[in-house]
Amino acid sequence: MELVLELRGLVKEFPGQRAVDGVSLSLARGGFYSLLGPSGCGKTTTLRMIGGFENPDAGEVVLAGNVVNGLKPYQRDVSTVFQSYALFPHLTALRNVEFGLRERGLKDCTARAMRALEMVRLADKRDRRPSELSGGEKQRVALARSLVLEPKLLLLDEPLAALDPKLRREMRAELKAMQRKTGITFLLVTHDQEEALSLSDYVAVMNKGRIEQFGTPEEVYLRPATKFVAGFLGTMNWFGKTGVRPESTRLSRTGEGLAAKVESSLFLGNCINVNVVLEDGSRVVAAMGLEHNNFHEGEAVWLHWLPSDELHFQ
Amino acid sequence: MKQRGLAVYAFCALAFLHLPLLILVAFSFNANRFTVWEGFSLRWYQAALSDPQLAAGLLNSLIIAGIAGVLSTIIGTLAAYGMWRRAAPVLSGTLYLSLVTPEIVTGVSLLALFQGVFRFLHLHLGLWTVIIAHVAFSIAYVTLVLSARLRGYDRSLEEAALDLGASPWHAFTRVTLPVLAPAIAAAGLLALVVSFDDYVITSLVAGVDSETLPMVIYAMARRGVSPVVNAVSALIVVGFSVIILISQRLQNQ
């Protein structure tokens, strides 16, 4: 397995807080990886250290076998897609994509930039300025601008956060397709668990400057290593130290299980979310099939689940 | 009703601001020498345009404003960029100080400085001392305009340039400068106007051979109200209006 990136005990401190607290991570070539965590967990700072915009206080950034600590952004073979896209407003779409090629003194800049624009289906918008492009188009130009350089590693900082939900889902599919087509290693930073789970081959879940779990989307969702991971990825019903996913939580009128009272029943299109209150006052949600759209507010119900669906934490 | 009240108020305020200018322009076309309307005439404009003193003053003013405008635009732009790159509250504070310092104080202090230095170097006041003085007070205006523009400038644009392989110098010259170009042009025009306009500081540091247009006009006005002054003033007002309009448009880009 060829490693594109290796982080060894990365630490970054800002006045008053330790933003990144000993992050170690290995990325194999050609994979789609995510750093997932709540805002302030250190994921963006980690990305900025890989890109060369911040210097780590301790630890090493190893790119394709070479320690790149201290190298400037323009000396590293990585490229970043910024959250704000950071397209140059005075240049057309084509000139934006050409920019990096020209700075590197490469040949056939215009032809290569055109091919990159064609890949993101924006060849006809080549002469538009960023202000004349829609959000999704800007996003695709930013992507083309980085991909045209064929970097070893593409860093994406919350690239879909500024798009509306429908467009976000479309761009998600496009990102994944682009990664598979180019074979370039992608490292995506996001706070959106759905985005991380659906796109990634591997997800690193971060909290308070540390990686809590690194694994495939199935692993981190179905077998969360810590209580934080379990709670951050999807919804979790807590019964003391035992967690049960809403889709594994069943309701019945048989009188067996944990007694509860229905608070509300929400129709979500693809499922029904029934919110219930236990006798001790804690709230639990059960995600059920559409055929269960018959629970009434105030109705007495009983909760049960399979022992194999229980998740235990210390 | 409320709308109409506001309109009347706005009209009065504008009249208070600009009525004197309108009267000045009107009398610049008066055939009579005094403030009695006699008929339309361009004789004062002819007199103004053929006056050698005014022409010499205008030439001096244009040279000074041109050179001082360019120099202060370069220095002020770099200063604003530097202060944007690393927050420098003390430095930007001193810039504001130079804006609120009374001109007479600035003028006297510059004169003291020049005289102190000249005693050693055996130099005289001249056009270039005026230029130095104008650069000194125009920098603050340029920096102010550009700082305002930079506050809305996305830092990740420069980071993106570095990320794509540009050196810091290229990131500045190929991304930041072009993006700031309209604001720089606007600031430069403002510096030009401020320099052209100045009387107090200029009169203190100018040499005998370097009278500027405002100094010539002031001397003429003191000798007695001449409609030539009206004509020259009207021309200046029109010229400045055009420059300020261009500057405003550039700033809004």
Q: At what angle are helices A165-182 and A135-147 packed, to 10 degrees?
A: 20
Q: Which residues of A touch B164 (CB under 8 A)?
A: 74, 79, 99-100, 103, 145-146, 149
Report CB contact under 8 Å: B165, A145.
no
Q: Name the closest residue on chain B to residue A72, using Cα atoms.
A: B162
Look at residue B253 and tell me whether its pLDDT is greater than 70: no
Q: How confident is the model at residue B225 (pLDDT cuts 50, 70, 90)?
A: low
Q: Which residues of B touch A82 (CB under 8 A)?
A: 156, 159-160
Look at residue A145 and tell me whether its pLDDT is greater than 80: yes
pLDDT of B207 reads 81
Report CB contact under 8 Å: A103, B175.
no
CA distance readout (Å), B65 to B71, B77, B196: 10, 17, 5
Interface of B with A in 160-189 (CB under 8 A): 160-167, 170, 174-175, 178-179, 181
Enumerate the CATH 2.40.50.140 domain ranges in chain A, comma separated. Answer: 235-312
- Would you list which residues of chain A are within 8 Å, Cβ to Cβ, of chain B? 51-53, 72-74, 78-80, 82-84, 86-90, 99-100, 103-104, 145-146, 149
Task: Provide mean pLDDT across the span A266-290.
Answer: 90
Enumerate the CATH 3.40.50.300 domain ranges in chain A, comma separated. Answer: 3-228
How close B148 comes to chain A (CA, Å)? Answer: 18
Report CB contact under 8 Å: B164, A100.
yes
pLDDT of B251 reads 73
Q: What is the pLDDT of residues A153-182, one digit of tens each?
A: 999 999 988 888 888 888 898 899 999 999
Q: Name the closest residue on chain A to residue B167, using Cα atoms.
A: A74
Q: What is the pLDDT of residues B73-105, one digit of tens each?
A: 999 999 999 999 887 788 888 888 888 889 999
Report CB contact under 8 Å: B162, A79.
no
Report CB contact under 8 Å: B157, A88.
yes
Give the CA diameter of chain B.
72
ipTM over 0.95: no
- Find the CB nearest A51 among B163, B170, B181: B163
Rounded to whole angstroms, the Cα distance separating A286 from A301 reads 11
Q: Which residues of B touch A51 (CB under 8 A)?
A: 163
Q: Name the closest residue on chain B to residue A104, using Cα atoms.
A: B165
- First-to-last alpha carbon distance for chain A, in angstroms, is 34
Percent helix, strand and coil across chain A, each to the nearest 5: 30, 35, 35
Report domain A3-228's class. Answer: alpha beta
Task: Provide mean pLDDT across the span A6-23.
Answer: 94
Provide long-range contacts, Cβ within 8 A and 24+ apart, for B37-46: B44/B227, B44/B228, B44/B230, B44/B231, B45/B231, B45/B235
Look at residue A44 and tell me whether its pLDDT is greater than 70: yes
Q: Which residues of B touch A83 (CB under 8 A)?
A: 156
Rounded to whole angstroms, the Cα distance separating B235 from B242 reads 11
Look at residue B128 and tell me whether its pLDDT is greater than 70: yes
Mean pLDDT over the full length of chain A: 92
Whether chain A has a CB inside 8 Å of the CB on B91: the answer is no
Q: Which residues of A touch B179 (CB under 8 A)?
A: 88-90
- Find the CB nearest A90 among B163, B170, B179: B179
Please work out, in degrees rounded to the nearest 5, the angle formed at the alpha carbon of residue A146 by the alpha carbons of A66 and A148: 100
Rounded to whole angstroms, the Cα distance separating B71 from B131 reads 9
Q: What is the 3-state secondary structure (H, E, C) of chain B?
A: CHHHHHHHHHHHHHHHHHHHHHHHHHHHCECCCCCCCCCECCHHHHHHHCCHHHHHHHHHHHHHHHHHHHHHHHHHHHHHHHHHHCCCHHHHHHHHHHHHCCHHHHHHHHHHHHHHHHHHHCCCCCHHHHHHHHHHHHHHHHHHHHHHHHHCCCHHHHHHHHHCCCCHHHHHHHHHHHHHHHHHHHHHHHHHHHHHHCCHHHHHHCCCCCCCHHHHHHHHHHCCCCHHHHHHHHHHHHHHHHHHHHHHHHHCC
Report domain A235-312's class. Answer: mainly beta
| Amino acid in the structure at residue B233 | S
User: Residues with Cβ < 8 Å from B5, sequence gap 6 or more?
Assistant: none
Please work out, in degrees rounded to the nearest 5, the angle formed at the alpha carbon of residue B137 by the alpha carbons of B136 and B143: 95
